[in-house]
Amino acid sequence: MNSFVQIVRRDLNLSFRQGMDSAMVVMFFVIAVVLFPFGVGPEPNILMRIAAGVIWVAALLASMLSLERLFQADFEDGSLEILVLQPVPLEIAVIAKITAHWITTGLPLIIAAPILAVLLNMNADGFGMLIAALALGTPSLSLIGAIGAALILGARRGGVLLSLLILPLYIPVLIFGVSAVDATLAGLSVKPHLLILSALLLSSLALCPWVGAAALRQAMRS
Amino acid sequence: MNSFVQIVRRDLNLSFRQGMDSAMVVMFFVIAVVLFPFGVGPEPNILMRIAAGVIWVAALLASMLSLERLFQADFEDGSLEILVLQPVPLEIAVIAKITAHWITTGLPLIIAAPILAVLLNMNADGFGMLIAALALGTPSLSLIGAIGAALILGARRGGVLLSLLILPLYIPVLIFGVSAVDATLAGLSVKPHLLILSALLLSSLALCPWVGAAALRQAMRS
Amino acid sequence: MVQFFGDNLTCFRGGRIVFADLSFSLDNGDALVLRGPNGSGKSSLLRVMAGLVDPVAGAVTWDDIGNGSSIQSDPDAHHRHIHFVGHADAVKPVLSVRENVSFWAKLRTSAPDVDGALSALGIIDLADVPGRFLSAGQKRRVGLARVLAAPAPLWLLDEPATALDAGGIEALENAIRAHRAGGGMVVVSTHQNLQIDDPHRLNLDAFPGREQAYE
Amino acid sequence: MVQFFGDNLTCFRGGRIVFADLSFSLDNGDALVLRGPNGSGKSSLLRVMAGLVDPVAGAVTWDDIGNGSSIQSDPDAHHRHIHFVGHADAVKPVLSVRENVSFWAKLRTSAPDVDGALSALGIIDLADVPGRFLSAGQKRRVGLARVLAAPAPLWLLDEPATALDAGGIEALENAIRAHRAGGGMVVVSTHQNLQIDDPHRLNLDAFPGREQAYE
Amino acid sequence: MHHFANPTRFLRLADRIQPWAASLTMAFVLSGLYFALLSSPADYQQGETVRIMYIHVPAAWMALFCYTALAVSCAAALIWKHPLASLAGRATAPIGACFTLLALVTGSLWGKPMWGTWWVWDARLTSVLILFFLYLGYMALNNAFDDPERGHKASAILALVGFINVPIIKFSVDWWNTLHQPASVIKMSGPAIHSSMLIPLFLMALAFKAYFVWVLLIRMRGEINAMKVRALRMRQVHDAEQNRSTPVASEAG
Ligand code: HEM
Ligand SMILES: Nc1ncnc2c1ncn2[C@@H]1O[C@H](COP(=O)(O)OP(=O)(O)OP(=O)(O)O)[C@@H](O)[C@H]1O
Ligand SMILES: Nc1ncnc2c1ncn2[C@@H]1O[C@H](COP(=O)(O)OP(=O)(O)OP(=O)(O)O)[C@@H](O)[C@H]1O
Ligand SMILES: [Mg+2]
Ligand SMILES: [Mg+2]
């Protein structure tokens, strides 16, 4: 547990000193969302209709982009090799890194989302649910994405490759994240959607650190 | 001129032998477009309404992602340092690399676009104009993006940073690219939109290689 | 008494056999120097010893862990026994030299001797300098300081003298001498001249049996 | 007669002065060997000579380019006069050794002697092998072959002997000897023992003005 | 020491199976097509378009079957580290991707007359599309590394993670209300379609399976040859090293 805290603290430290990390993810998120009014035209009711979907898709892309470097920097400078050889279960290290990553990138997304919802004319009733759904969904994205981030270490064209690997796996989160918001707006029950989102979170929490650790060990083999 | 050809040929050669480069960009493009029906729901007439916008936004993102590595690989393995020190004007080298990059990534996007248009229920009348607009627009994207790709060399978190730098610059191409398609679908004249797209292309052709070369020189300073 | 040994190790990498039927053993205070031309398998053997690469045959074993079962059976105990220094130095540009070293040391012991390690390698003056300002040789010293800051019985050093100047090499030799005097063991690969007393030597070029793959 | 010199150079990197008031000059056939401990500025000086880093004071000049104006005034002519070998070898994994070398050579001359260069460095047997199969030392040889394949009067070599075994070092020494016999010039930084006849020496530790930073 | 066990035994076995697989493919395709196109009735609802079924359904089955085979061989490769297992995975993926594409294309062709549109975003269709992306991801990751070994391991892990999608495809029609029709051939209570359609369907299914075995063997042979070429390359590098026979730098100590 102590090493978990050590690693989280160091990763947060690195992220704050390098500055801009969180800021940049949020800004990508904002810019990607803002592209849509340019792309689909400024009509309020069309925008309102697609708001939740666009915000979620942009969150997926932002999460994916920021995950690309989850292990990359440590891999390139040799830290990962050393981390694997510490007397600390690698699963703990992986989940510590994911935690730090989610704090620096997932959390800011959640905070920025309602502002974008306003920009896209989303009905104010949906804001609370949008935040709740993102709060349940983004940790799953970080967890699932960590597997991809570990798999692409040392690959050519990491970024594009990562998107190919993990966007398909993100789709369930996207579907139920959006339907939770849409159900609220339509006045229907959101419980099933939130339950499924929680189930996705729990199962990725149970599975991803192990798979991620296995992938990291694999990456060290070469 | 000879060195231009040499560099283009080498970059194409590298891209083909490494295989999959073009394929992966196209796949990202496809997946990003496919995310939208999940996000905004499967209703055909909504999809039809936003099809052109979604395809263009996805093309922007795909172009941006693939540009991240335009100079990166050469930077990391030391080739860029050597390239800068060759008796070849760096502007020529930059435009040669952009050309090769567009051939391997821009061209496949143009070919894949109509298939995605089918998936999104776009009216078949728009296909021709979609292709024409992409053919005029994607080279501008490559040219503008090259500046960003040169600026992020050696930066931490290149991917997210790049998106911040160049997505705002992409917006004019996006606006006129989409309106060309929409005008065709609405039966209006497309000439003004295509003229503006051409003007954007010409001016980025005139400007970007110089700015890109300056950015590369700067990157070598450290 | 701690003892570390490998039996009939065969290593297969990049589609070919790098070495076959290689054995070694280390007692307290021993040093093993790996020699051989480029590509002969020095780095590969060190990675096998660290457990980063699995041998396709044979096993690496500690006398005092898991009753003679291989290092794979209890990785955490194995990791507690070793320090590995590879080609990269893992120096973070935004952390100071002291922070760089102490992060790793604290994962192993709650009271590491970071400043002692920095002094031993002659970089105590740089303790508060961020990693990004270091030259190649200074980075290497930081990488070695990590090993000194938290004790472990076995050091695995892959070309530790790379980029070090004469002063740096001397500091490294002294550290190895002190470590062995305290009963520690060390395995070093090097192309350069490192002064190591009474080394066991392993010449990796002498191992036959490569190139049979897929034929 | 070609001559290359630097006057009162001051280099400022990472927030501190690396060296100040440094001058050097090179005649045809001269060799300049850079010495100094880690972080003393050898790599920095070579990058200043190449024009990759601008000095904050002083200038680097060719006698026969631009009437004594600095190298910055006509980069293309300067680049035609130099070859720079840094820490990285720029070997593309998917291109064969010959393709790797000839791409660079063809940017400089339409009829490069690629195979001659490969022979001189003892890698002609590897000409058709893709870069990804090469060991560290073999990659270094490819990096050096690029220099031999297209002639240029001045070579700037930053630790060229890294990762080379004895045979590789000998090939490098021979190449430098032949280059100088033909009137070429060379600047080398190294921590190892390279046999270079009648070198000029520049000890970078002798330059004052450092370590004022961070205090 | 199976890591570098020579694959000669496998090749000998493959030599024996391959002609059988080839001729079985031919026989099943011919008989299957005869029944499918000539001797089976047109559907009372769907008319002649029902004949697309004889390609679509076996192709969809093969898409799922190939992914299962891929996951099994990847698991075997990761757990027992048998080189033939990872080789089989690599050889299977492109075949599976082709079957998936075939199922998607024939499904779309069938969808136009049946549902009035080429494509709908329902659970079955979408999960098959994701399956296709998973195949592509596996292949892309496999080829993305300079060191092939690394690509094989990484993509094997991905293939196992992606296996979650297979039951989702299988049961998507039961769990969600979709346009696509639910299982009518393979289900607990026995097949629910008439035998005049069942016979050609099974003949085509067998044909596809035999074709799979045939192509798999060819592809595995190709992979083995590629490995041999690689080993030769390595030998070239090593021989070059030996020829120079450089003395080792003077001993320390
Ligand atoms: C692109 C569109 C389509 C896709 C991706 C698709 C996919 C699939 C898959 C994966 C299966 C195998 C299911 C299993 O083994 O349980 C299947 C079976 C089947 N499909 Fe489709 N399908 C598509 C369109 C259609 C259409 C338009 C029809 C006709 C209305 C159709 C009729 C059938 C039938 C009859 C079966 C056999 C079901 C059974 O007996 O188990 N499909 N399809
Ligand atoms: N990452 C890798 N992937 C595949 N094969 C590798 C890898 N690294 C090394 N090899 C192979 O293993 C052999 C031994 O390499 P290793 O790095 O152990 O040699 P070395 O003795 O450390 O050489 P050097 O003196 O250059 O460091 C090499 O010939 C190479 O073919
Ligand atoms: N990229 C850089 N950014 C900022 N400062 C740097 C950079 N590289 C080097 N320096 C600083 O410049 C000084 C000289 O470094 P340089 O790399 O030239 O030394 P060197 O003599 O080549 O050392 P070594 O023997 O370790 O290679 C170092 O002390 C370092 O503080
Ligand atoms: Mg080595
Ligand atoms: Mg240096």
pLDDT digits (tens, 9 = 90+) for C63-122: 877 777 788 888 889 999 999 998 888 899 889 999 999 999 999 988 899 999 999 999
| Ligand 3 and B221: CB distance under 6 A | no
pLDDT digits (tens, 9 = 90+) for E137-163: 999 899 888 778 888 889 999 999 999
How far, in Å, is the centroid of ligand 1 from the Cα of E127?
A: 12
CA–CA–CA angle C96, C97, C99 (5° rounding): 65
For residue D39, give how far its alpha carbon lies from the nearest alpha carbon of chain C (Å): 5
Among E3, E4, E146, E147, which residue has the most ligand 2 atoms within 8 Å of its CB, making it the best to mutate? E147
Across the range D173-200, mean pLDDT stands at 92
Does residue C210 surpass a pLDDT of 50? no
Across the range E200-216, mean pLDDT stands at 91
**Per-residue pLDDT at D186:** 96
CA distance linking residue B134 with residue A217, whole number of Å: 43
Domain C2-206 listed as CATH 3.90.550.10: no
- Taking residue D133's Cβ as centre, other Cβ atoms within 10 Å add up to 21
| Strands D4-13 and D57-62, bridge-based pairing | antiparallel
**Per-residue pLDDT at E226:** 83
Query: Three-state DSSP class for A24?
Result: helix
CA distance linking residue B110 with residue B58, whole number of Å: 12
Is there a contact between C202 and C26 (Cβ–Cβ < 8 Å)? no
| Ligand 2 and C13: CB distance under 6 A | yes
Residue closest via CA to ligand 1's atom 5 equals E125
Residues of chain D with pLDDT > 90, as a percent, come to 52
CB-based contact A78 C107, cutoff 8 Å: no
CB-based contact C39 D138, cutoff 8 Å: yes
Does residue E249 surpass a pLDDT of 60? no
CA distance linking residue B214 with residue B150, whole number of Å: 9
Tell me the residues of chain C between 144 and 183 that have a Cβ less than 8 Å away from chain D.
Answer: 162-168
Backbone angles phi, psi at C70, to 5 degrees: -70, 165
Q: B-chain residues within 8 Å CB-CB of E133?
A: 27, 31
Does residue E27 surpass a pLDDT of 80? yes
| Ligand 2 and D136: CB distance under 6 A | yes
Ligand 4 (ion): residues with CB under 5 Å are: C 43
Two structure tokens written together for B208: 């970007």
Q: Which residue has the higher pLDDT, E182 or D95?
A: D95
CB-based contact D122 E146, cutoff 8 Å: no
Q: A-chain residues within 8 Å CB-CB of B17?
A: none
Q: A-chain residues within 8 Å CB-CB of B21?
A: 156-157
Cα atoms in the Cβ-side hemisphere of radius 13 Å centred on C53: 23
D111: left (phi over 0), alpha (psi -120 to 50) or beta: beta
Q: What is the mean pLDDT of chain C?
A: 86
Does residue C56 surpass a pLDDT of 80? yes
**Per-residue pLDDT at E44:** 64
Across the range E27-47, mean pLDDT stands at 76
Does residue A108 surpass a pLDDT of 60? yes
CB-based contact E140 B44, cutoff 8 Å: no
Which residues approach ligand 1 with their CB closer than 6 A?
E 53, 56-57, 60-61, 64, 103-104, 107-108, 110-111, 114, 124-125, 128, 169-170, 180-181, 183-186
Q: Inform me whether the C-beta atom of residue D94 falls under 8 Å from chain B C-beta atoms.
A: yes
- pLDDT band for D213, please (50, 70, 90 cuts): very low
Count of helix runs (H) and strand runs (E) in chain D: 6, 8
Closest residue on chain E to D132 (Cα): E146
CB-based contact D167 E247, cutoff 8 Å: yes
| Ligand 3 and C167: CB distance under 6 A | no
ipTM of the complex: 0.79
Does residue E232 surpass a pLDDT of 80? no
Residue closest via CA to ligand 2's atom 2 equals A222
For residue B84, give how far its alpha carbon lies from the nearest alpha carbon of chain D (Å): 9
Is there a contact between A93 and C79 (Cβ–Cβ < 8 Å)? no
Among C22, C33, C43, C192, which residue has the most ligand 2 atoms within 8 Å of its CB, making it the best to mutate? C43
Instruction: Read off the amino acid at residue B162.
Output: L
**Per-residue pLDDT at A102:** 94
Q: Inform me whether the C-beta atom of residue E80 falls under 8 Å from chain B C-beta atoms.
A: no
| Strands C31-35 and C200-203, bridge-based pairing | parallel
Select from C57, C54, A28 the least CA-distant residue to B65: A28
- pLDDT band for E31, please (50, 70, 90 cuts): confident
Which of D54, D94, D110 lies at the smallest CB-CB distance from B17?
A: D94
For residue C129, give how far its alpha carbon lies from the nearest alpha carbon of chain E (Å): 35
Two structure tokens written together for D183: 């009137």
Does residue A138 surpass a pLDDT of 90? yes
Residues of chain A with pLDDT > 70, as a percent, come to 96
For residue E223, give how far its alpha carbon lies from the nearest alpha carbon of chain D (Å): 19
Two structure tokens written together for A32: 């990607």
Count of helix runs (H) and strand runs (E) in chain C: 6, 8
Is there a contact between C173 and C195 (Cβ–Cβ < 8 Å)? yes
| Ligand 3 and D17: CB distance under 6 A | no
| Ligand 3 and D9: CB distance under 6 A | no
For residue E40, give how far its alpha carbon lies from the nearest alpha carbon of chain C (Å): 50
Q: What is the mean pLDDT of chain D?
A: 87
Ligand lying nearest the CA atom of residue C163:
3
Backbone angles phi, psi at C74, to 5 degrees: -140, 75
Q: What's the structural domain count of chain B?
A: 1
Two structure tokens written together for A155: 């690959």
pLDDT digits (tens, 9 = 90+) for E10-20: 888 888 888 88
Query: What is chain A's Cα-based Rg?
Result: 18
CB-based contact B31 A157, cutoff 8 Å: no
Q: For ligand 2, what atom is nearest to the CA of residue E234? A: 31
pLDDT digits (tens, 9 = 90+) for C109-154: 888 999 999 999 999 999 999 888 888 889 999 999 999 999 999 9
Q: What is the pTM of this model?
A: 0.82
Kindly list the distances between the CA atom of residue E48 and the CA atoms of C215, E38, E43, E45, E113, in Å, as whole numbers in the listed order: 54, 11, 7, 9, 11
Q: Which helix (H) or strand (E) holds C186?
A: strand C185-189
Q: Which residues of chain B have pLDDT under 70?
A: 1, 19-21, 154-160, 222
CB-based contact E144 A215, cutoff 8 Å: no
Is there a contact between D193 and D160 (Cβ–Cβ < 8 Å)? no
**Per-residue pLDDT at E4:** 44
Kindly list the distances between the CA atom of residue E88 and the CA atoms of B29, D142, D143, in Å, as whole numbers in the listed order: 30, 37, 39
Does residue E35 surpass a pLDDT of 90? no
CB-based contact C199 E148, cutoff 8 Å: no
CB-based contact C56 E149, cutoff 8 Å: no
Instruction: Read off the amino acid at residue D81.
Output: H
Which of D125, D129, D168 lies at the smallest CB-CB distance from E233?
A: D129
CB-based contact C134 D87, cutoff 8 Å: no
Give me the residue spans of the domains in chain C.
Answer: 2-206
CA distance linking residue E141 with residue E159, whole number of Å: 10
Across the range D79-83, mean pLDDT stands at 93
Q: Which residue has the higher pLDDT, A5 or E182?
A: A5
| Ligand 2 and C15: CB distance under 6 A | no
CA distance linking residue A106 with residue E134, whole number of Å: 26
Treating both helix axes as pointing N-terminal to C-terminal, what angle do E123-142 and E53-80 enclose, rounded to 10 degrees? 40
Closest residue on chain A to B170 (Cα): A35
- Highest mean pLDDT, choosing among A213-222, B8-17, C14-23, E63-72: E63-72
Q: Which residue has the higher pLDDT, E1 or C87?
A: C87
